[in-house]
Structure 1
């Protein structure tokens, strides 16, 4: 702790004290520190393992692009750490959705969608700049854009099905191959990477995105799917009242069509969104299915939170309607019948903030 404070203080030219742990992760330590002048800053220090180093490079490069997130006050690639402006003690979108204020939750979810869309629109012509920033802070790890996670998931799903005793429907390999290339080629734009609701602060000045540890360019559909599903890879997954997810999706889309006019076409948009839904459903299956032998909550400390089985069954049920991918849809039906059928997992309820409204 002392070495982190000393390095961060030297970086920004002031003594730092009174560190408060804001709850980082296995990859990083996040501290709110007091400055000698009576203000405060956020210090984020990273570990020295490969995963942490890649997250440092992504965070430093993504925030230094300066189109979203807190202002970067200094970056030390040697420690490694960065110091940013302090956005205050604002609640996150997750706090609001899990609270009891439906008006605040409605405002927060739409603000989050617009902020993501505006960020994507502002970033379209700055991909080369992010690549240069990545090179500046490079710690020897491949960028997230070079991470073949969709292809790896596509290869892993048939293996998991075999382990569960489920035959692969005809055509599944071809469909998985098709969605396995869906990472960044179709209408790419910048994303912080982990666009879950606990990484969006609802400040008096509006929503502010934080956590750029997976910052990269990817297809806008992969980001917009967080509105439709919602939230594609997150722990904070419940059900929205009818129409609210569509409003979020439209808020994101309205921002991005100015730079990608083709996305105003419903056929183009819908095809991309359904492919992204397939990508994220396969991702959830590969991540969570091996961990459902003993069910448990998706988050270690937050409550309320759904269980892994609840979320998987919900994702599978949604994906049975993917008509463009009949083999994937049939796979999800098989998983619902042969795997989820033995569970006693209750359907996902409404987000608590909307719990007093009808579905």
Structure 2
């Protein structure tokens, strides 16, 4: 920590003191530090592992675009480390969804969807700029824009299924190859990447995103799927009220239609969304099923309430089993449900706590 403070102080040209550890991750240490002028800044230092280098480059390049995150104050490519403006201690969307105020949670979800949609649309014409920024901060790994992770997941899925004793439905490989990038580069927009409920602050000035470690350009449908699933790669997953879920998706869609008018066509939208949900379901299955087979565990180390691995997998598989137009994927998900999930006896996911308190006649009632 002393080395982080010394490096960040030299980078800014002002003394930083009183570091407070904000948690970070296995890839980074995040500190709130006091400046000699009496204010505070956020210092984020990255570890030496390869994925940390990609995360640093993505965060530096993504924040340098100036679209929705904190102001980037300084970057040290060699450490690697960056310094950001401090956005304060406003609640996150996760705080609201796990809280007890349904109105605040509803406003937060809509603000989150609106902000993500605007971010995707605003960045639609800035891909070349992002590529130049990536080259400036490059640490030797490609961005997720160029990483063939969807194809790699499709290639890895058969072995994951075999380890669980599940035979894929006929035609699954060809079906996944056809899905490709869920809309392709025709609808590429900017995303911070990890657009989960805890990676934002709902400030008085509106939604501000705070994690750009996976920033890239990708199919706008892959971001939109976070509205429908909800939260494709996240731990904070419960069952949202149906009416609110529809409104959240409409809110996101209304923002991106300005840049891609074709997305106003229902057939185009539904095909892209179906493929995106399929992509993320395969991603979760490949990444999480090997860990869920030997034992169940909470999806977050400290936050509660939180679903378990097996709860989340069963929930995703049940949704994907009903996807239209993808019979091989749907069939494979059914096999996972009957062969694997049925033996887990994991309870179904309840609703988000913020909406569970509503009366039966309210928006979140059953």
TM tier relative to shorter chain = over 0.9
Partner SS state of residue 73, structure 2? strand
CA contact (8 A) 1:184 1:217 kept: no
1:331 aligns with 2:332: yes
Greater Cα shift, 120-129 or 158-167: 158-167
**Aligned residue number for residue 362 of structure 2:** none
Specify whether residues 59 and 184 from structure 1 end up closer, same or farther in structure 2 by C-alpha distance, changes over 3 A only. farther
Partner SS state of residue 124, structure 1? coil
Partner SS state of residue 14, structure 2? coil
**Aligned residue number for residue 143 of structure 1:** 143
Q: Mapping of 1:13-24 within 5 angstroms? A: 13-24=13-24
**Using the alignment, how far apart are the partners of 2:69 and 2:190 within structure 1?**
12
**Using the alignment, how far apart are the partners of 1:343 and 1:291 within structure 2?**
13
Quote how far apart the aligned CAs of 1:185 are.
Answer: 2.1
1:190 aligns with 2:214: no
CA contact (8 A) 2:181 2:219 kept: no
**Using the alignment, how far apart are the partners of 1:37 and 1:138 within structure 2?**
32
Partner SS state of residue 322, structure 2? coil
Partner SS state of residue 144, structure 1? coil
Quote how far apart the aligned CAs of 1:320 are.
Answer: 1.3
**Using the alignment, how far apart are the partners of 1:90 and 1:113 within structure 2?**
18
Greater Cα shift, 124-133 or 74-83: 74-83
1:353 aligns with 2:351: no
Quote how far apart the aligned CAs of 1:84 are.
Answer: 0.6
Quote how far apart the aligned CAs of 1:161 are.
Answer: 1.8
1:254 aligns with 2:262: no
- Normalising to structure 2: TM-score of the pair? 0.96
CA contact (8 A) 2:182 2:221 kept: no
Greater Cα shift, 182-191 or 153-162: 182-191
CA contact (8 A) 2:182 2:273 kept: no
**Aligned residue number for residue 65 of structure 2:** 65
**Using the alignment, how far apart are the partners of 1:338 and 1:266 within structure 2?**
35
CA contact (8 A) 2:288 2:309 kept: yes
**Aligned residue number for residue 239 of structure 2:** 239
Quote how far apart the aligned CAs of 1:179 are.
Answer: 2.4
**Aligned residue number for residue 7 of structure 2:** 7
**Aligned residue number for residue 118 of structure 2:** 118
**Using the alignment, how far apart are the partners of 1:228 and 1:307 within structure 2?**
20
Greater Cα shift, 183-192 or 6-15: 183-192
Greater Cα shift, 221-230 or 197-206: 197-206
**Aligned residue number for residue 307 of structure 1:** 308
**Aligned residue number for residue 81 of structure 1:** 81
**Using the alignment, how far apart are the partners of 1:303 and 1:19 within structure 2?**
26
What does the per-residue CA deviation read over 1:27-72, in whole Å, with 9 as the maximum and x for residues that have no partner?
1110000000100000001112211111100000000000110001
Partner SS state of residue 236, structure 2? coil
What does the per-residue CA deviation read over 1:116-171, in whole Å, with 9 as the maximum and x for residues that have no partner?
00001110000000000001101111121121111111111111222222222111
**Aligned residue number for residue 44 of structure 1:** 44
**Aligned residue number for residue 107 of structure 1:** 107
CA contact (8 A) 1:145 1:184 kept: no
**Using the alignment, how far apart are the partners of 1:113 and 1:182 within structure 2?**
19
CA contact (8 A) 2:182 2:272 kept: no
Partner SS state of residue 201, structure 1? strand
**Using the alignment, how far apart are the partners of 1:163 and 1:122 within structure 2?**
43
Quote how far apart the aligned CAs of 1:181 are.
Answer: 3.8
CA contact (8 A) 1:70 1:85 kept: yes
**Using the alignment, how far apart are the partners of 1:143 and 1:313 within structure 2?**
31
- Normalising to structure 1: TM-score of the pair? 0.98
> Unmatched 5+ residue regions in structure 1?
none
**Using the alignment, how far apart are the partners of 2:270 and 2:181 within structure 1?**
18
CA contact (8 A) 2:58 2:143 kept: yes
Quote how far apart the aligned CAs of 1:187 are.
Answer: 0.1
**Using the alignment, how far apart are the partners of 2:202 and 2:343 within structure 1?**
40
CA contact (8 A) 2:183 2:221 kept: no
Partner SS state of residue 309, structure 1? helix
Quote how far apart the aligned CAs of 1:184 are.
Answer: 5.0
What does the per-residue CA deviation read over 1:273-309, in whole Å, with 9 as the maximum and x for residues that have no partner?
0000100111111111111121110011111100011
Quote how far apart the aligned CAs of 1:183 are.
Answer: 7.8
**Aligned residue number for residue 95 of structure 1:** 95
